[in-house]
A and B are shown apart, each in its own frame.
Chain A
């Protein structure tokens, strides 16, 4: 197991280098440069040139890359071109918000998907099964921004039950309840898609397990159907679901961009859009890199959990 983890981490290193190179190439394809953002009609060109020199934008690209990489290896993601803040701390203060929303959405999504998936499998080909399978398709097919807009329209504007956005009531002092209240709608906007994808997965996985002999044995022993389904079958049916939960992580980052923008949630999705609009390349590079590392880490964790949960799986 340990050797497997070490090998996976070693494989991840060249991949990470590749990611930094790709990242750098992408950013350097951009026309214009961040200094343009400072420009007003009466800015003297010498001043712009000085600023470019300060930011190191006049160096050859290869030099810029290695400078950035060197800093990166010492744990420095650089400084924002537009606000001069450290990119690391800029991302750090936002990442927590994104993860908070992401984890809430994952939990909510699974809470919706688990009972529906199990019931659909147990009552295969029933009306309930068809309805839920159909609804799961709607869940995966509805764009997050449209769902988010509908949620805002219905629950915030028409009914007035929930806030339209932000993380806490302005000037209201905040408090845990208030914060949770603000998380409800954005979490739902993210969770519906997750639930839709998971329902079909849990259903299929459960159907596979339900056919197996050991369940017949369990019933023959006289165990109640409820125990057979929810204890004996579910445990094995959940194993493949672990991998798919891991696959949701990159999706959550993508969803964050849209949902955070819509709900004014100060996470890294919103930061991405702000950085793009201000051509803040150092922040964009940092964001892409952090996101890629989180995804690689999540993939590794998923595989490790998978082998822990299912001893039949051996990694070499």
Chain B
């Protein structure tokens, strides 16, 4: 997206496989491109802050997110900066603690499905034949279900806990990454350096994990970043509908549930505007990071 791009310096050599040096050069090059994307840097800072908030929630939070005070639905004040909810709990404390849910769901889901999807995609492409055929039909099956709808059904069937939420989101997210990895591996398999590796008699795992996977990594990283945002968005939607994270545990989505009543919406905007803004800011920040990574990792830029 940046206007002028310096010619890409040839890092390391082509002939000498100087692994560590080459990867460091690539990383620096990537970092330099990433920093040029201003919104991506802002997104990165915001995302890091959110992770810190999630980790240090007990120290940052002015109150316990579960403590019920005498004031119900109180407007923002000096002791409750964002007021209290209908049960009398501090909204700011709940907002801070809900960051944990978002971070766990976002990164947990992605960690599981990216690992699984990558392995499946690698195997499918490398083994080919009937394995590939079956894997592709299975991904077809998973991808034919409308994401939100099927997740809603499965989560409600299994019981909405944080654990099942993460697993179910992962269960319906891996096919896209498996297909992505399969696609790039099929291309990479034809590359001369892979053929050279085979001719040199290197073992299959070594070729797959040392030679093919590192070169297929860029799209995986980009997809995973957007995946974090998508998982957070899906969780908040489910929680909003009352089928995700269950109260009293605070999630940004379930904090918005009450705003479906017109009286809450008009009389207590502090109950629903802050969590909504938090979801928007978080998802936006992560999406910008993803966009920055896409630009930084795309060699065609």
Contact = CB atoms under 8 A, between A and B. Distances in A.
B144 A141 contact: no
A145 to B, nearest CB: 5
Contacts of B137: 11, 14-15, 18
B74 interface: no
B146 A273 contact: no
Interface stretch (B87-95, B109-117, B152-160, B202-210): B152-160
Interface string B93-129: 0000000000000000000000000000000000000
B157 A146 contact: no
Nearest to A12: B140
Contacts, number: 137
Interface residues of B, number: 46
Interface stretch (A110-118, A170-178, A283-291): A283-291
Interface residues of A, number: 53
Contact of A276 (B3, B152, B256, B260): B152
A144 to B, nearest CB: 7
Given A125-B3, A257-B149, A295-B146, A141 B280 contact: yes
B140 A276 contact: no
Interface of A is mostly: helix
A31 B265 CA distance: 35
Contacts of B253: 143, 145
A141 B229 contact: yes
A229 interface: no
B241 A261 contact: yes
B276 to A, nearest CB: 4
Given A19-B141, A19-B144, A149-B265, A140 B149 contact: no
B148 A257 contact: yes
B279 A143 contact: yes
B149 A291 contact: yes
For B144, B229, B241, B269, which residue has the most chain A Cβ atoms within 10 angstroms?
B144
A288 B240 contact: no
B69 to A, nearest CB: 26
Nearest to B232: A143
B284 A145 contact: no
Contacts of A153: 265-266, 269
Contact of A141 (B143, B243, B259, B283): B283
B193 interface: no
A29 interface: yes
Interface of B: 1, 3, 39, 137-138, 140-141, 143-150, 152-154, 156-159, 229, 233, 236-237, 240-241, 243, 253, 256, 259-260, 262, 265-266, 269, 272, 276, 279-280, 283-284, 287-288, 291
Closest 6 CB pairs of A and B: A254-B148, A253-B146, A146-B276, A141-B284, A141-B283, A250-B146
